[in-house]
Each structure stands twice: as C-alpha cells, then as structure tokens.
Structure 1
Amino acid sequence: MTTAPEQPPQGSLGGKTILISGGSRGIGLAIAQRAARDGANVVLIAKTDTPDPRLEGTIHTAAASIEAAGGRVLAFVGDIRSDETISRAVEGAVTAFGGIDVVLNNASVLSLAGTLDVSPKRFDLMQDVNVRGTFMLTRAALPHLLRADNPHILTLSPPLNLDPKWLGAHPAYTLAKYGMTLCALGFAAEFADRGVASNALWPRTTIATAAVANILGGEEMMRRSRHPAIMADAAHAVLTTPGRELTGQTIIDEELLRSRGVRDFSGYAVDPAAELMVDLYVDP
C-alpha cells in the first residue's frame, strides 16, 4: 500500500481561471483537478469528444471530474491548431469567468521516429500542435493575462538539453518540444516588465500516462513511472508563486518540490519498489 505524498506548503488557486490545451486525461487533467480542489475555474480545449478504446476518458468525463473536485468548468471540443477554436475558448473564458489568469500549454503530439522514418504529415502535426498551438493560445490569451493579478503561462516542455544523445535520438520530436520551451522562455523575456510569468515544467521521471503505456514502454515502464499527481503538485506550486519571483525558468518537478520542503516522494510512485525511469531530456 502506498502512502499519500507529502504536500508542500502552497497558496490557493481559488477563483483563478485556467485555460488549458488538452486536459482530457493524463498530466493536464491532473493539474486541472488539483486547481479545482482550490475552487478554480477551468477552461478545457480538447479533441476527444467520444470514447477511444486506446485512450481513457473524454473531454466530457474530464469536465465532470473537475466539477466533482470543486471547480467550475467550460469544455470546448476542438483542435488547438484551429484559430477559431482558440478564439471561442478565450472569449468563453472571459464571458463566463471575467478574465484569464493562467494559460497551461499542455497539448502535445509525441513521435520518436528518426529523421528518415518520420512522415511529413507527422512532422507537421507535431510542429502545429506543440509549437504553433503553444504560441497561438498564449498570444490569444495575453491581453487578458496582462490585466490579471499574478498571471502565469506554464508550458509542459523540457529543459534545452543539447547533449548529442538527445539531439540525435528523434530530431523532429525534439524540435517540437524545444520549440515549446523556447516559446515559454521568449514570453518570459518579452513580458518580464509587465508582470506576466512564463515557465516550462517537465518531470524528472516518466509519468504514468497513455503515452507511456501505448508508445514508450508499456506496462513495465508504467511500473517504473510516477503518477501525474507529482506534476499537478509542481504546477500548483509554480502557479501560486508570485510571478515576479519565478519566471523564465525550465523547471523539473522533483527539484521544485524539494525546494519547497518535500522530502518523501514514495507516494508518487506507481510501484515504490521499482527503479524509476528518468524521462527524456533529463540527465540521470
């Protein structure tokens, strides 16, 4: 039996409005549910309208779980590649909740194919969802973030690790994920004097999500992963920090939580007896 993870001292997201790309499952949903426990408003943009046998949950089940956790939710079925979908979600958030306090760039496409194996269609999809989606969702929300109290942009992307083992492993995916991180750092630099915080957040270990189960390594890697709750707690810690105190950083979940006083991470492990698998772009 696993124990509940130690909770770091944190503020509250009560009454804040969080706009999330993706979020129907996995890390994005865990972050939304954690915010909902504070009484946050959550606006979801996700494609999964009907059940998929390969993936657990839909945007509708996600919305119901967020409401059950204590939050208010608006759910927009749509593609983050669509400017019209983005506009509808931003306008809906402002109309329903009066503004936007946080943008969470969570939507991402994963393909670890090498250069000779990645198809043009898959390459374009990764660039459009990961990079363009991050940029355009943030761009659309920025006028409202600039009017918010303690606004944050949080992008789920890795540190810019230029070790050849990462650069050469799957360049198309690396380009897409590093592009997200460059967006996060660019927003931080551009809006530093206007009080909008922007950071990238990445897990030290693999996280037990559908991507790990279906693409990266199946049940064995799931056993060596942590639950999405660690990323939810780390994101909560970032978003409840005054933005002028934490911006322009590429943050690793465990390092941040350790800095906030967490010492026992066993409760986050799927199998506390298993050796944890270090995530992509993170050196052991």
Structure 2
Amino acid sequence: MSFQQRTVFITGASRGIGKAIALHLASKGANIIIAAKSIEEDPRLGGTIFSTAEEVEAAGGKALPVQVDIRDEAQIANAVAMGVAKFGGIDIVINNASAIQLTNTEQTPAKRFDLLYNINVRGTFLVTQHCIPYLKKGNNPHILTLSPPINLDPRWFSPHIAYTISKYNMSMLALGWAEELAPYHIASNALWPVTTIGTAAVKNLLGGDALVNKSRSPEILADAATHILQQPSSTYTGHTFTDEEVLQAAGITNFDKYAIVPGAQLQKDLFL
C-alpha cells in the first residue's frame, strides 16, 4: 500500500520517535500533520513543529505544523480541522505523544498523576475520537498507538504504578478500537520497542549517555510503523506488537544497524 497522498496525523512529532516516523513516511510521499506543543526549541530536547516540517518537506512529503497540547480538546479539534482543510482528510492516526514519570505512589504528586492521564489516556482518546469521522472515509485507515503489550507481572507496577497503568490504558484503547471500528475497516494496533530508544529525552531526562549507548535508534520504530501501516486495515488489526516481531514478519532478522553503539549490550525496555 503506497503512502502517496495518504495523510498522517502524528502527535508529538516534533522530535524523537514521532519525528523519525514522520520523516520515514514523508520519504514515501505521505502528507504529515505535525501535531505537537513545541514552537520554541527546548535545549534539552531539540526540535520544533516548524523544524520538523522543513525536514518532512525535504524528505519528499508535505507538512502541516500545528501547535497542539493534546490536553486541550479545542486545540485537537482545531488541528484536525486544519489538517482536513489542507489535505482533504485523514488516513492514519499515530498516537505518539506521551508523558513519563517513573516514581512510586508516595513520590508521584497529584499534578504529575494528572499529567500522565491527561496526555497518555485522555489525550490519546480525544485525538482518535476527533479523527474517526475522517478515518471512516480514509484510504486503508490505521490507528497506531505507541504503547506496550499488557504485562500483568507486579514488578511492572510496583516501581511506577501511575505510569504503568497509563501506558496500559493506551494499549487497552488500541485493542478496544480494533473491535469497535472493525465494521469500518479501520485498523488499530499498538507498537512498543524491545529495547530503549536513544532519543534526546532518554539522554537528558532519563539515563544520560550511558543509557543512550545501550539503546537503538528511533529508526527501528519508524521501519516497524511503516510496515504496519502498509498492511490491509481490514485484517491487520487488534495487536500489541513489539518492533522486533513486526520486522521479523517483514523478513528482517538482523537488527544490528539500529544500535546506537555497534555491538553494545542493549537495555531491554519496560514491560517486556
């Protein structure tokens, strides 16, 4: 399935994984609605909706940068309306924007708990809700949510229960939409990396160079997402995939090229 003239709404696409997916799809001719908050560069994280738009255009796609805080439903509705006005519809939604807070119950302030739920759960729900009317008319329509397989081992809850349940909520949304939207042939899947991904956020907010050096590049998720979004939306739905299993199904078994440091021992990601 070609990406020419297909329109992709990506949250959190100004940097990191979202940006990598945007550029990969743009290189195949997609229209990209870059829905993210950053209009001024954060020196710790880099990237804005405008710099990403320039790169999308340079890669061969068409871009629409729209400032969106997905905690604000009016901003979501405005971004969707602007995207539809420019490109004529929406064929793919990628729920990439997410907040992280790796603290236990006593160390998680109410405002951080609310942030996790307002972005990861409520924001993902509302972005998808506002896009569904256009997905119903879309070309091979897909919803792809960046969230993990649901692993109920208590060790994934005890260190950071608020974050864990917010990410599992995203996966439950993805699975629920697969069933709810099946009559409209809209696919819904989740995707999660087997290893940590070496983004600026991982470096500057989580684990520094030491963690980055044990990580893979965001391109592994871009390649996996592209493979998923090429599949028939009527049948390729209802999965919580890892990047490795998607690529293995596509015939790729050697992942060495994705390592930030060739030959390094890699850090397995959460929830696996």
TM above 0.5, yes or no, is: yes
1:116 to 98, 106, 109: 106
**Aligned partner letter, 1:204:** V
1:266 to 253, 256, 259: 256
* Counterpart residue number, 2:132: 142
C-alpha displacement of 1:44: 1.2
C-alpha displacement of 1:215: 2.9
C-alpha displacement of 1:214: 2.2
* Counterpart residue number, 2:153: 163
C-alpha distance in structure 2 between counterparts of 1:214 and 1:83, whole Å: 30
* Counterpart residue number, 1:254: 244
C-alpha distance in structure 2 between counterparts of 1:78 and 1:231, whole Å: 23
The answer to whether the aligner puts 1:205 opposite 2:208 as a matched pair is no
C-alpha displacement of 1:119: 0.7
2:142 to 152, 157, 169: 152
Flag as ranges the 4+ runs of structure 1 deviating above 4 A: none
* Counterpart residue number, 2:204: 214
Helix, strand or coil for the counterpart of 2:80?
Answer: helix
C-alpha distance in structure 1 between counterparts of 2:198 and 2:128, whole Å: 27
1:90 to 47, 59, 80: 80
**Aligned partner letter, 1:129:** I
**Aligned partner letter, 2:120:** N
User: Where in structure 2 are there 5+ consecutive unaligned residues?
Assistant: none
User: Per-residue displacement from partner, 1:85-142 (whole Å, max 9, x unpaired)?
Assistant: 1111111111111110000000000110110001101110110001011000000000
TM-score in terms of structure 1 length: 0.94
C-alpha distance in structure 2 between counterparts of 1:245 and 1:169, whole Å: 37
User: Per-residue displacement from partner, 1:163-185 (whole Å, max 9, x unpaired)?
Assistant: 11102120000111111111111
* Counterpart residue number, 1:225: 215
C-alpha displacement of 1:263: 2.0
1:38 to 18, 28, 40: 28
C-alpha distance in structure 2 between counterparts of 1:154 and 1:198, whole Å: 6
C-alpha displacement of 1:192: 1.2
* Counterpart residue number, 2:67: 77
What pairs with 1:124-139 in structure 2 (closer than 5 Å)?
124-139=114-129
CA contact (8 A) 2:6 2:91 kept: yes
Number of equivalent positions: 272
User: Per-residue displacement from partner, 1:211-269 (whole Å, max 9, x unpaired)?
Assistant: 31123311111011000000000000000100122101000001110111002211111
Identity of aligned residues (%): 50
Helix, strand or coil for the counterpart of 2:90?
Answer: coil
2:37 to 38, 44, 47: 47
* Counterpart residue number, 2:10: 20
CA contact (8 A) 2:256 2:263 kept: no
C-alpha distance in structure 1 between counterparts of 2:131 and 2:68, whole Å: 17
CA contact (8 A) 1:197 1:246 kept: yes
The answer to whether the aligner puts 1:241 opposite 2:228 as a matched pair is no
CA contact (8 A) 1:14 1:35 kept: no
